Structure 1
Amino acid sequence: MAEASVLPAQPSDAEEIARIQLDTWRTAYTDLLPPEVLDALDPAEAALTWRRTIEDGPARVFVAREGASVVGFCAAGPAPAEETASAAGEPAKDAATVTLVSTLLVEPRWGRRGHGGRLLAAAGDALRAEGSTRGIAWVPEADKASVSFLERASWVRDGTVRTLDAGGRPLREIRLTGTLRIELV
């Protein structure tokens, strides 16, 4: 394996991040999202959104590299209070120090090489340094690979679920929570 690293994303990474996001969704979410939703994803619009996020936040974006290739990315930042709320709508007592891992994707052909763990660890280290105490992530319940990955990182399902409208099809997501101190083995 070539040398692997994780670095803060640069605006010049936005197009590659968008490509990875769209390609990964089109590969991994064909059973979760209607074809018209996946077909409507616009690479230029996604790249612009990622460029703005990298430049202005509020999330921090990190890229995983293997050699010269960007192979994955993670976006994480302060969790909006409503994202930390219980099913009854009560914000978590620690809401001000919770990080939302909004996206963590590794291109499937680069999977199972430790990139996801390095991305989560780097994001966790950076956000702990800024005062975050724990992380949360919303994951499609049917995305067994992502749920399993977070559970291997010692994150747990906290019992909170939500259902989104995914192009007229319900998409049930579960929330997982865990430490931002990721032990890589």
Structure 2
Amino acid sequence: MALFTESADVSVRPAQPEDVEAVTDVQLAAWRLSHDGVLGEQVMDSLDVPRMREQWAAAITAPPGPGFAVFVACNRADVVGFAAVGPGQLVALEVLPSEQRSGHGSRLLSAAVDRIRSDGAQEFSTWVLDEDPAREQFLAGAGLGPDGRRRSLATGVRDVTESRWSATL
């Protein structure tokens, strides 16, 4: 006998104010998995979680301008990932470690690209922290590649470097 539910098992939708805590939790869990070695335990432990929640609340409820949006990936009713976009840019894309390699990242990237394209962009970019081979593999599989631009970020404990990846739409 088949079991039917009122909603899709997996989906992507625009983020709502009630998603703020889940988005922050996803970011923290994903960063611990993929960035702990680069950022270091001291940086991870010093993250201001209440401030992060405030920033996500603002991004979701009062985006800073046209072209900004936050999407969430859901497994049934549970938020398991998110993507944030700005004009021509994928600002963030994270999925809970336990839900990675389940298609959520690809669905989020598709929603992000659709939004960026609908806003008139002809290319888009994102920044990738050095020493994140899983993210590089994911982005390369989606048709993005490093475009030679790099930047350094000061974390207050150590500087880290990111490379910009881009693609034409």
Query: Please, what TM-score do these two structures have when normalized by structure 2?
Result: 0.88
Paired position in structure 2 for 1:116? 105
Distance in 2 separating the partners of 1:32 and 1:124: 28
Question: Deviation of residue 34 (structure 1)?
Answer: 2.5
2:128 corresponds, among 126, 139, 152, to 139
Matched AA of 1:52 = A
Q: What residue ranges of structure 1 are gaps of 5+ in the alignment?
A: 79-98, 181-185
Distance in 2 separating the partners of 1:63 and 1:16: 9
Distance in 2 separating the partners of 1:18 and 1:111: 17
Q: What residue ranges of structure 2 are gaps of 5+ in the alignment?
A: 1-7
Question: Deviation of residue 127 (structure 1)?
Answer: 2.1
Question: Deviation of residue 72 (structure 1)?
Answer: 0.3
Deviation string 1:91-128 (CA, Å, 9 cap, x unpaired) is xxxxxxxx111110011110001111100101111221
Question: Deviation of residue 159 (structure 1)?
Answer: 0.9
1:128 corresponds, among 108, 117, 138, to 117
Cα RMSD of the aligned pairs, angstroms, is 1.4
Paired position in structure 1 for 2:16? 10
Aligned: 1:23 with 2:29: yes
Deviates more, 1:37-46 or 1:115-124: 37-46
User: Conserved in 2, the CA contact under 8 Å of 1:34 and 1:167?
Assistant: no
SS at match of 2:27: helix
User: Conserved in 2, the CA contact under 8 Å of 1:11 and 1:55?
Assistant: yes
SS at match of 1:24: helix
SS at match of 1:113: coil
Paired position in structure 1 for 2:80? 71
Q: Within 5 A, what are the aligned runs for 1:1-185? A: 3-58=9-64, 59-78=68-87, 99-180=88-169
User: Conserved in 2, the CA contact under 8 Å of 1:33 and 1:167?
Assistant: no
Matched AA of 1:20 = V
Percent same amino acid at aligned positions?
41
Matched AA of 2:123 = R
Paired position in structure 1 for 2:4? none
Query: Please, what TM-score do these two structures have when normalized by structure 1?
Result: 0.81
Distance in 2 separating the partners of 1:165 and 1:153: 29
User: Conserved in 1, the CA contact under 8 Å of 2:116 and 2:124?
Assistant: no
Distance 1:179 1:8, change over 3 A: farther
Distance in 1 separating the partners of 2:12 and 2:27: 17
